[in-house]
Amino acid sequence: MKKKERALKFALAGNPNCGKTTLFNRITGSSQSVGNWPGVTVERKAGTARAAGALISVVDLPGIYSLAPYSPEEKVAHDYLLSGEPDLILDVVDATNLERNLYLTTQLSELGIPMAVALNMADEVEKHGETIDCALLSRKLGVPVVSVSASRGTGVGLLLKAAVETAREKAFPSPARFYSPALEQAIRGTEEAVRTPCTRWRAVGLLEGSEPLSGLAPQARRKIEALRKTVPVTEALDLDMIVADQRYRFLGALCRGAVRKTRVSSAGGYSEKIDRVLAGRFLGLPLFFLFMLGVFWVTFGAPGSFLGDWLNGRVLAFSRFLDGVLRGSGTQDWARSLAVDGILGGVGAVFVFLPQIVLLFAMLSFLEDSGYMARAVFMMDRLLRKIGLSGRAFVPLLMGFGCTVPAVMSTRILEREKDRRLTVLIVPFMSCSAKMPVYSLIISALFAEHRALTVFSVYALGIVLGVLSALLFKNTILQGEPAPFVMELPPYRVPTFQNLRLHVWQRLKDFLQKAGTVLLFATVAVWFLQYFTPSMGHASDPSQSILAAAGKRIAPVFTLCGFGEWRQAVSLVTGLVAKESVVSTMRVLYPAGVSGSLAEALKAAFTPDSAYAFLIFVLLYTPCVAALSAIRREMGSLKWTALTVGYQMGLAWFASAFFYQWATLLRHIF
């Protein structure tokens, strides 16, 4: 029997925004989110690949600045690296910010684990007229250093070859000493005092105080306390600051020797020049909202509508073809109706919005990968602090426009429980992409001349009500100041096609999986309930069906909102499973017009006032089942989950009823 090959385990570590996740995608082909904000990967992600004749398993750790386990990201990385699992640390270093990134490298080299360094974005350094001597870095750091471009894939093969060889040979880092003779002597003394296997990293931690002495024998504690006194300290610098200072002194000298100017470049400072406009005090926020309006215009305006209408025509043509084939083959009416009106009609009604979903995700991914969204976080910090949140909460809030589930899970990057809970309560107000087909369908039918403006107003309303809700919670059940927030702004970069493709595919894959599972099941269930009467006979009149009987009991609740007809009520109920189900349910329940378009049927079912009230309700009411499950996990309490459900359902009903009643009154007056 052939022995199973053991995979070499690589831990991918590095600072935020160093291109670590891009390299992970390049190595493994894994389609993971690639963005320009801190904490893009909260929990470790793994992938496999084959390189240099070896099977490797790569673990993508969170982006961290230090091994000190203070933040949740640092704790995840710290715990994994000290677990003894990795055969090698693959340290990704941003060549454009060399000295700061190498600080983590000095810490990693003290863990006693084989290591290789990927000098990423070295091509950008060359654009600025500089070169980096990788051989010198390798000698001084005691590890292989390979220049790569993760976004373009250059140098990745050489990096993996060096990493595999290092892991197989168990070649441990042998860096030049970072510290003064007195500190070096104290570190060696600490290693001897502990006696049990002790990494240099642990010895430094025990000496500087970042690791407690309580677990050591009394004799070892006394010796380490005595060793601390042998290192000269000042009033300005404690021992832990002296350790950091000596590391930076070593790195400063190293970088001065390794970075060489080859020519005068005019490329420097372009990010700062762009920021004066795009992130300026006066123009920053207006330009951000203008960009968002442009995104919505492309998605829901002429470009997106053209593609959606084209695909809708193809789906309708195939539907007619399938109907003709089934009729000609003598298929029973119920089976033909299930295939054409149920499965194809329901799932196809959602599928036609695929081009618009691709456009939306592609443009948002472009803004993220270019570095602009990091500026949006910076600009939003001041506004978010006024409602009780730090700028870091903008990350899950922004993710909420894609899908509520990962957005809720990403609140783990927030350190304080109050901040996490407040953000979880507000995330559902950021309209997720699952609601987009509903907006597009209703707006195409009732607001065709003002598509972009209408959908922008819906998204804006969600943000405004989210802000007001945050203020309410901040001053009642979740009082307290937000955690301070410091972030690094990456330079502007031109996104690569591969990163955009991976980013879009990751989100699109979730949509397609849902269409093939949850939506298919919901569509078939709706078709069955509307095809049969309570006595299980064929319902020639849908108003006599099982679904109609149930819908008529629910519908009166929505009368004041303007959509108290049973089919509208049933569509909202199925939306609790998945918001796209609203569209597929409507496609099954509403007979298409002469043109075969569902939009034509909806014009007769809604007035402009009731249609907009319906959009408000879809925007605000309870998230789907998957999102509620994520909220339950992150909140850790059924009570908080019930609060989310009750508050959003109540607010959705009140807001839609308020709008419809006032809009109707004003139409009668004017």
pLDDT at 662: 93
- Mean per-residue pLDDT, 558-575: 90
CA dist., res. 166 & res. 137, Å (int): 16
Q: Note whether 287 and 347 are within 8 A (CB).
A: no
pLDDT at 304: 77
> Domain map of the chain by residue range?
8-169, 181-232
Per-residue pLDDT reduced to its tens digit, 24-49? 988 887 544 433 333 444 555 788 88
List residues bridging with 268 in a β-sheet: none
Three-class SS of residue 570? helix
- Triad 601, 543, 547: Cα angle to 5°: 100
Q: Note whether 453 and 389 are within 8 A (CB).
A: no
CA dist., res. 670 & res. 659, Å (int): 16
Q: Work out the pLDDT band at 268, boundaries 50, 70, 90.
A: low
Which residue reads 């899970």 in tokens? 409
Per-residue pLDDT reduced to its tens digit, 311-335? 877 877 887 888 788 888 888 877 8
CA dist., res. 440 & res. 435, Å (int): 9
**Architecture field, domain 8-169:** 3-Layer(aba) Sandwich (3.40)
pLDDT at 658: 96
Report which residue type is found at 97: N
pLDDT at 33: 40
The beta strand positions in 130-240, using DSSP E, are: 130-132, 145-148
Three-class SS of residue 47? strand
**Which residues lie closer than 8 Å to 164 by C-beta, 6 or more apart?**
8, 51, 52, 53, 54, 56
Residue 197 has pLDDT above 70, yes or no: no
Copy the structure tokens of residue 525: 């269930």
Backbone angles phi, psi at 363, to 5 degrees: -70, -40
Alpha carbon 281 to its chain centroid, in Å, reads 27
